[in-house]
Structure 1
């Protein structure tokens, strides 16, 4: 019997354009300020996640919006804090996502998502991915957020994945590359924005998903 090979992915930032989604959502509330507020939000959100890891992601987003607006000195209507959670199911999929996932499946890989998200939100996002996903582990499932190790540990325990059968693919150096390295999981960093983090902790670095199958195969075989 052929052993299953797993490619796990972070979703938002890797497969889905979260920067566009967050910027657009904040722009709806504060026209002309979206890009500026994105940078504040990106700094605040991991703090909110770390404070209370069992907090649902919808509330993480809402609390991050509240704190982002407060730091920027902007008045936020209470009901408007839900803008990102409401809009998340419509955040755009990167153009290279569906071809890359389809090619991986055709090459015999199983695909899983290890995501800092709620079950209902990732369910809506899977509809937009339009490629079959074999397994999903959410923050709601494990009661914590990456860069904690619980997503990876739950996936390994549930599916028997080991470093010999598993490659993790993600955009976030902080949330994904660092814990995957610590756990000895082979990993591909999708550095879409040219972030100046240490590339040596990844087994391979790509600017997008265009050459993913060959890269995953190479990392898996190394």
Structure 2
């Protein structure tokens, strides 16, 4: 049983575009600032409350981003990210590259810092089916905690397993700790703090099949 596991948001779905455009709905002209501020707060919220549902994490991190950037946000505006998340766009190359993996006999799974209900909505937009999904709600923790990976291993007992993700912090570090073959989808052209953690690097999913099979 050969498996490729993926992070979803940032790797398959354009997470930055989704947050930026959603923030514009409540604070026109402030989307870019709020996106960067949101990135500074999300992990802190998850670390403080690992049992918090992801829609609550989205709301609290956005509230903190608005406060940091002195952007007024009243009422239930912070719920905008959870409300729009099912419509965040899938990266254009995802369909062809995941289809190539499936045609080569790989099974696909998602290991996502998300709730079951939210990922169910996103899966409707993903162009290929996934055989398995492990959410933060299932794992009781948020990556980079190892809980997602450990639950997937117990549940599916993969004989061959490659992990693919955009986030160095949330995914490459825990995959390295577990000794998993891994492919970093470095969409932002970042420098790896520790290059030894990185095995394969792609700027997007194009060429993924070859990278996965050259593990």
Equivalent residue for 1:204?
200
Say whether 1:74 aligns with 2:71. Answer: yes
Q: In 2, distance between residues paired with 1:27 and 1:124?
A: 22
Q: Once superposed, what is the RMSD of the aligned Cα atoms?
A: 0.8
Give, in whole Å, the separation in 2 of the partners of 1:190 and 1:125. Answer: 20
Partner-residue secondary structure (3-state), 1:75: coil
Q: Which residue of 2 aligns with 1:131?
A: 128
The equivalent of 2:36 in structure 1 is 39
Deviations along 1:29-80, whole A, 9 cap, x unmatched? 1111111111110010000000000100000000011111111112111211
Q: 2:179 — aligned with what?
A: 184
Note the alpha carbon deviations across 1:162-221, whole angstroms, 9 max, x for none.
5xx0000000000000010011111000000101123331210010100000110001xx
CA distance in 2 between counterparts of 1:148 and 1:111 reads 21
CA distance in 2, matches of 1:156, 1:38: 33
| Structure 2: runs of 5 or more not aligned | none
Check conservation: 1:199, 1:205, Cα contact below 8 A.
Answer: no
Q: Distance in 2 between the 1:202 and 1:90 partners?
A: 31
> Scaled by the length of structure 2, what TM-score is found?
0.98
Residues 94 and 127 in structure 2, CA contact (< 8 A), matched pair in contact too: no
- Give the aligned partner of residue 95 of structure 1: 92
In structure 1, how many angstroms separate the alpha carbons of the residues matched to 2:91 and 2:196? 25
Alpha-carbon distance, 1:130 to partner? 2.5
Q: What secondary structure is seen at the aligned counterpart in 1 of 2:214?
A: helix
Please state how far the C-alpha of 1:142 moved relative to its aligned partner.
1.0
